[in-house]
Structure 1
């Protein structure tokens, strides 16, 4: 039996952004929330939310969205990770080996998960600072100029006199609506000793949140430990398994991950059970979100305590019931809420 007490849970509204590549956001999606609360043991409760994407008009912008959202007085967000240049070539269909084809369009714009996330934060009215590294080359100058034009503070960047800035060739397939990224990493890579203690403390000053994308992990780990010491929440963007990512996840309060990551990391049989496994393995994490492309995203949130009179259900079964309650014909953002259920976890099915 679970000890009865008030359940702590919130419904988080997150605007989703998508484009034809991994570069700066261009098309806005709005989520529909469908919360399910999951009980994993006598004291912990988890709330699962299914967020279905609805495409907004092409004229919508992050600035228009932020105009209807209340902003906190202190809006500083610190990020550390990749910022690069993307060369986006759109093709009618992906080439076969040894093919020569023509692109239908070519765009050159900023990319990198940290660069994208902090650009989004700036467009939503926050005050982002980014710690990263570029070389003193044309790509590096372009990266800094674009970020600064969007309102991202780049004063904590390291600029190397030698080497190359990171860049990515992105092949956008119109037929399958997919993109293939060929990345050339930063050289030489950023090392922790390139971020002086004085700069680290200055970057963290007044920060309300610290964001990591899993890159530059040695530097990110130094920042993360200091942020933890200062009780600054940490959000980790887990795209795929990377060296050092587990160390960052152990410091995280929030995790946002790609569709493949939860099951690859936990070896769970389904995404819902993988999210449960992640919260069991990462006791400091308050919620984990998995992005699902056109299907929106799914969030599992940790809460504390629930009523003992609730019927227990399997997490995958409950998710299927939730999907049946969503109106696929709706054209406006809506919230479809489930009943509250404790969840029976089949621990033998996945790693914990």
Structure 2
């Protein structure tokens, strides 16, 4: 989550927030749009940050002096407070811990109009949230009614307290594994779902390839139902664990299986699509081991250069859509294109939030059929 502006009189240290999957402003009477998922309350635990976005004609060289083409405080030029913006979108912020002093996290984001890339310079909040600030009563109330808990991997000591209580209550958890962080391994051991950045699987497992690293992750994390690695404009790869492991399963090497899926993919499609292997294969990686499951390959939407504005927050948008899809009971074959579509919509506007689609957005209509 990357809201726009923080009231300077308060410092948001970070804490759990309740993330409803549908705000009142997003509801529609259209019969094509389904009701919100019954299991639709997600508890988010992590950092809330202010983004200062500057668009430049081209990224500066060392010692250059340049002017920005445009400067924006996330998606809110009026500088509304962070809490007000979240509440306006239907997020329950009553469990957030607000410090009386210090500074909240913020990030300078330089958006390069030439290459359509973004460079982030992040300043963490200070002082950080510590577990003692999250009372047991507050945590218990936050988890009551939650169907899923999301962690961004930051503030691990506090996050681990939340994760352990969620595990005790048998509440599923999704971890955003962007990069190795202190305490992340403890969170991953409790994870039900993981969404990784492109480099994380190999960095974390030392496996020779991304595909074999996914095998290693499922072997090392026995609670994991699936892991997704996002590949930017190249789409994503998902390895889903099978709930039924039968003798005599066909065994296939993961690298060969991935190449087969790539060959079968419709490269001419401009919209996001997903193809999968047979269900309940025995998928192996040389020197690592094997798991029962299936491999899925997702293709990202092809965004015309004239429509591509800013990729800031694309990964966060993807994860947000995955959270929705899990609660809505979407199949992986629908979830992956849905998440890719949401992420692509966010890339068509400046900032992490201004381009996020409402449920009434025509681009999402095929997913409600």
TM exceeds 0.5?
Answer: yes
How far off is 1:177 after superposition?
Answer: 2.5
Residue aligning to 2:94: 155
Rounded Cα–Cα distance in structure 1 between residues aligned with 2:221 and 2:174: 13
How far off is 1:144 after superposition?
Answer: 1.2
Residue aligning to 1:344: 284
Residue aligning to 2:56: 91
Residue aligning to 2:352: none
Task: Count how many residue pairs are aligned between Structure 1 and Structure 2.
Answer: 266
Indicate conservation of the 8 Å contact 1:110/1:146, yes or no: no
Residue aligning to 2:106: 167
Indicate conservation of the 8 Å contact 1:236/1:255, yes or no: yes
Rounded Cα–Cα distance in structure 1 between residues aligned with 2:31 and 2:58: 36
Rounded Cα–Cα distance in structure 2 between residues aligned with 1:292 and 1:183: 22
Indicate conservation of the 8 Å contact 2:177/2:197, yes or no: yes
3-state DSSP of counterpart to 2:74: strand
Rounded Cα–Cα distance in structure 1 between residues aligned with 2:267 and 2:169: 44
Cα deviation code 1:82-104 (max 9, x no counterpart) = 10100111222221111111122
The answer on 1:321 being equivalent to 2:321 is no
Rounded Cα–Cα distance in structure 1 between residues aligned with 2:238 and 2:33: 23
Residue from 106, 127, 134 that aligns with 1:188 = 127
For the aligned residue pairs, the C-alpha RMSD in angstroms reads 2.9
Task: Identify if the C-alpha distance between structure 1 residues 257 and 76 changes in structure 2 by more than 3 Å, giving closer, same or farther.
Answer: same
Task: Identify if the C-alpha distance between structure 1 residues 339 and 72 changes in structure 2 by more than 3 Å, giving closer, same or farther.
Answer: closer
Rounded Cα–Cα distance in structure 2 between residues aligned with 1:66 and 1:196: 43
Cα deviation code 1:280-319 (max 9, x no counterpart) = 1111111111111112211111113456555432111110
3-state DSSP of counterpart to 1:265: helix
Task: Identify if the C-alpha distance between structure 1 residues 259 and 69 changes in structure 2 by more than 3 Å, giving closer, same or farther.
Answer: farther
Task: Identify if the C-alpha distance between structure 1 residues 307 and 192 changes in structure 2 by more than 3 Å, giving closer, same or farther.
Answer: closer
Indicate conservation of the 8 Å contact 2:192/2:223, yes or no: yes
Residue from 98, 106, 112 that aligns with 2:71 = 106
Task: Identify if the C-alpha distance between structure 1 residues 280 and 180 changes in structure 2 by more than 3 Å, giving closer, same or farther.
Answer: same
Rounded Cα–Cα distance in structure 2 between residues aligned with 1:66 and 1:227: 35
The 5 Å alignment of 1:1-352 reads: 23=2, 68-69=33-34, 71-109=36-74, 142-306=81-245, 308=247, 311-339=250-278, 341-347=281-287
- 5+ unaligned residues in a row in structure 1: which ranges? 1-21, 25-60, 112-137
Question: What TM-score do the two structures reach when normalised by structure 1?
Answer: 0.69
Rounded Cα–Cα distance in structure 2 between residues aligned with 1:150 and 1:230: 28
Rounded Cα–Cα distance in structure 1 between residues aligned with 2:161 and 2:75: 26
Indicate conservation of the 8 Å contact 1:85/1:110, yes or no: no
Task: Identify if the C-alpha distance between structure 1 residues 92 and 273 changes in structure 2 by more than 3 Å, giving closer, same or farther.
Answer: same
Rounded Cα–Cα distance in structure 2 between residues aligned with 1:88 and 1:197: 37
How far off is 1:194 after superposition?
Answer: 0.7
Cα deviation code 1:250-283 (max 9, x no counterpart) = 1111111111111111111111111111111111
Question: What TM-score do the two structures reach when normalised by structure 2?
Answer: 0.66
Relative contact order higher in (CA < 8 Å, ≥ 6 apart): 1
